[in-house]
């Protein structure tokens, strides 16, 4: 099949679903709307599979010239597909389709179901535009599109003021990062005289490492990454984004949005390789993000909040891989993380659905008897994310740890501590939710039920992917075939990393030993009927973690409150005292002049004749003398 036709199908099918449901959705029933919405990403996924088997070399074509001139700077509405794009297409359309199908069951009874499915389609289209755009402006258009969709979906239940607040927080914090991204785009255009990504990457041969302008460009682009991929200091919006419906959480955390920043750095890997200084910044920001978010997750009791901080921590892992110039490793973890994190969120949604909205794990327990299918898939996802061999997360995290070790032992130690934190809070979540005795009310207990098959079917598929997805990137000591890195090799510029086989064997042995020990401790502690164990720790460290290092309060003190005070002062003092006076001065001048001249319009004919005569004589006098 013609590759260009397949690219059209991939890109435009979700947008067509959005238009049909957005414009005509109220005219047909929800079943038709749901089918149309699911067909969008499904057609994209099938077309991606066909494109993969016919793929021979990167494809790039332009729809039309967007703006600019023929002989100078111009930007086309153009797309490109290479190996990196193809892998991301599999993740976005594949996982996106499963989340759409799950939503049919989870959101089927909601009054805004059609609107919700339309937003999901628009979300997928925006992400596809982001990863298929062949220039930075196209990429930025998709970048802003996913930002808009996240705002719409986080605040989907807009009658709740707290949800609207969370949506605004996500929107504002993303705009902070976007400002850096925009400046980076301008500087890139000024430096390279082009925004076309292949043109930029093909013109790097004569540039020296750590060229100041390249360093500045990469730092500005990374500021955008911090906003979109929730890195310190712009990560606090992501846990609050849990206000949206659970399928939205899965879509944001697994298949779209937060992976955009990781994709951007991998896409511009050739540029980042010329900026070792920036890569060091990326590495340390990733380490700090992974550690802080993983430690916060230790003391959270909301099942979605735990998963949210887990996502931030895993994004920190990916940033560490990027900072080590192991770009294909970062993308490999994007892929495996999409499988098990989507499964965790959708599994959490199944638990919340079965418990009629309960999200506090201290009020759960013993669910494995009544929710056997959900328990099974949640166990697979938990084992995958904690790096239990041979599940998906084990191989990708093992690669990141090896790359970190290659760049310094302190990096490895920090990530290893984060891995211990991950195992603890995920096994605490698992045992606290599915084992022990139910700790909620009898009313909820009597209504616990398993989710319908329309919700479970996507979970089974994701469970299989979470179990076997890691075999696409096995280390040297098992196989010489690392399919992901070999496939991505033409599209990303990895720097070589190597650790000894002895290190790998020791790492694996220590990992298994640590996981078994943590599983034993967490099982004993949290498989219980006592809800107080989830809040038992006291003292300043526990309070610090439970209150998320007081980061929201610190941000409020440093930024939000001063800005509010400035706005209030502008409204009450600056505006009426200065701005209003300057703006109204011309109008007041005319008004006062009119009031002053008003007596001349007396209505007395004699006065008018005399004025006319005086004026005429004045003109004659001026002309004659």
pLDDT tens digits, one per residue of 384-422: 999 998 999 999 999 999 999 999 899 999 999 999 999
Classify the C-alpha dihedral 122-124-127-131 as positive or negative. negative
What global pTM score does this model have?
0.89
146 CB-near residues (< 8 Å, 6+ apart): 123, 126, 127, 130, 228, 256, 257, 260
User: Is 228 in contact with 260 (CB distance < 8 Å)?
Assistant: yes
Average pLDDT score over the chain:
91
Are 304 and 242 within 8 A, CB to CB? yes
Close Cβ partners of 265 (under 8 Å, ≥ 6 residues apart): 221, 222, 225, 272, 282, 322, 327, 330
CA distances from 103 to 109, 152, 355, 371, 557 (A): 10, 16, 17, 19, 39
Percent of the chain at pLDDT > 70 equals 99
pLDDT at residue 288 tops 90: yes
**Model confidence pLDDT, tens digit, residues 293-319:** 999 999 999 999 999 999 999 999 999
Q: Are 173 and 237 in contact (CB under 8 A)?
A: yes
- Helix then strand then coil, in percent of the chain rounded to 5, is 75, 5, 20
Tell me: pLDDT of 71 over 70. Answer: no
Hey, what's the torsion of the CAs at 276, 270, 232, 239, to 10 degrees?
-160
Q: Using pLDDT thresholds of 50, 70 and 90, give the confidence band for residue 255.
A: low
Q: Which residues contact 239 (CB under 8 A, 6 or more apart)?
A: 305, 308, 309, 312, 548
16/348 Cα distance (integer angstroms): 30
Contacts of 208 by beta carbon, 8 Å cutoff, 6+ apart: 274
- Mind listing the pLDDT tens digit for each residue in 548-580? 899 989 989 998 899 999 999 998 888 888 888
Span 127-155, mean pLDDT? 93
- Quote the pLDDT of residue 596: 85
- Non-local CB neighbours of 604 within 8 Å, separated by 6+ positions: none
DSSP codes joined into one string, 496-530? P----HHHHHHHHHHHHHHHHHHHHHHHHHHSSS-
User: CA end-to-end span of the chain, whole Å?
Assistant: 94
Question: What span, in angstroms and rounded, lies between the C-alpha atoms of 169 and 248?
Answer: 16
Residue 60 has φ and ψ, to the nearest 5°, of: -145, 130
Range among 31-40, 247-256, 604-613 with highest mean pLDDT value: 31-40
């Amino acid at each position: 099949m013609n590759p260009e036709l397949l690219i059209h199908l991939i890109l435009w099918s979700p947008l067509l679903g959005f238009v049909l449901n957005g414009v005509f959705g109220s005219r047909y029933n929800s079943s038709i709307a749901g089918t149309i919405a699911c067909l969008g990403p499904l057609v994209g996924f099938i077309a991606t599979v066909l494109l993969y088997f016919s793929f021979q070399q990167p494809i790039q074509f332009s729809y039309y010239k967007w703006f600019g001139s023929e002989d100078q700077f111009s930007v086309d509405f153009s797309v490109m597909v290479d190996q990196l794009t193809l892998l991301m297409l599999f993740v976005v359309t594949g996982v996106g389709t499963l989340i759409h199908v799950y939503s049919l069951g989870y959101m089927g009874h909601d009054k805004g179901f059609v609107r919700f499915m339309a937003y999901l389609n628009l979300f997928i289209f925006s992400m596809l535009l982001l990863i298929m755009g062949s220039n930075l402006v196209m990429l930025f258009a998709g970048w802003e599109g996913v930002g808009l969709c996240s705002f719409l979906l986080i605040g989907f239940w807009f009658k709740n003021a707290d949800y609207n607040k969370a949506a605004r927080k996500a929107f504002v914090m993303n705009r902070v990062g976007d400002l850096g991204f925009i400046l980076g785009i301008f500087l890139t255009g000024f430096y390279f005289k082009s925004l076309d990504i292949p043109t930029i990457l093909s013109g790097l041969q004569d540039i020296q490492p750590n060229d100041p302008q390249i360093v500045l460009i990469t730092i500005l682009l990374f500021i955008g990454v911090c906003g979109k991929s929730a890195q310190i200091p712009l990560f606090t919006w992501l846990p609050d984004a849990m206000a949206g419906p659970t399928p939205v959480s899965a879509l944001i955390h697994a298949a779209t949005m937060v992976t955009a920043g990781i994709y951007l750095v991998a896409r511009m890997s050739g540029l980042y390789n010329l900026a070792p200084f920036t890569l060091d910044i990326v590495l340390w920001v990733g380490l700090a993000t992974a550690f802080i978010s993983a430690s916060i997750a230790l003391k959270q009791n909301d099942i979605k909040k735990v998963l949210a901080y887990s996502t931030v921590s895993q994004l920190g892992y990916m940033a560490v891989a990027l900072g080590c110039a192991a770009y294909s490793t970062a993308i490999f973890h994007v892929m495996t993380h999409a499988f098990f994190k989507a499964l965790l969120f959708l599994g959490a949604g199944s638990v919340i659905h079965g418990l009629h909205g309960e999200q506090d794990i201290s009020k759960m327990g013993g669910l494995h008897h009544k929710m056997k299918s959900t328990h099974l898939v949640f166990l697979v996802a938990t084992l995958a994310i904690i790096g239990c061999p041979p599940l998906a997360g084990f191989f990708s995290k093992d690669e990141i740890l090896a790359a970190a070790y290659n760049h310094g032992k302190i990096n490895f130690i920090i990530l290893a501590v984060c891995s211990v934190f991950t195992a603890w809070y995920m096994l605490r979540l698992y045992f606290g939710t599915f084992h022990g005795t139910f700790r909620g009310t009898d009313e909820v207990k009597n209504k616990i039920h398993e989710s319908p098959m329309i919700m479970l079917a996507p979970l089974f598929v994701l469970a299989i992917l979470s179990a076997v997805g890691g075999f696409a990137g096995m280390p040297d000591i098992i196989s010489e075939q690392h399919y992901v890195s070999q496939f991505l090799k033409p599209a990303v510029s990895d720097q070589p990393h190597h650790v000894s086989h002895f290190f790998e064997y020791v790492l694996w042995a220590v990992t298994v030993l640590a996981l078994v020990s943590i599983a034993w401790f967490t099982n004993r502690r949290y498989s219980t009927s006592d809800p107080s164990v989830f809040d038992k720790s006291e003292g300043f460290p526990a309070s610090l973690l439970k209150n998320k290092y007081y980061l929201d309060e610190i941000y409020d003190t440093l930024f939000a409150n001063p800005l509010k005070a400035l706005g209030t002062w502008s409204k009450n003092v600056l505006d009426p005292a200065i701005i209003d006076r300057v703006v109204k001065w011309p109008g007041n001048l005319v008004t006062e002049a009119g009031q002053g001249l008003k007596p001349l319009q007396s209505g007395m004919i004699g006065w008018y004749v005399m004025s006319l005569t005086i004026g005429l004589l004045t003109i004659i006098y001026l002309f004659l003398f």
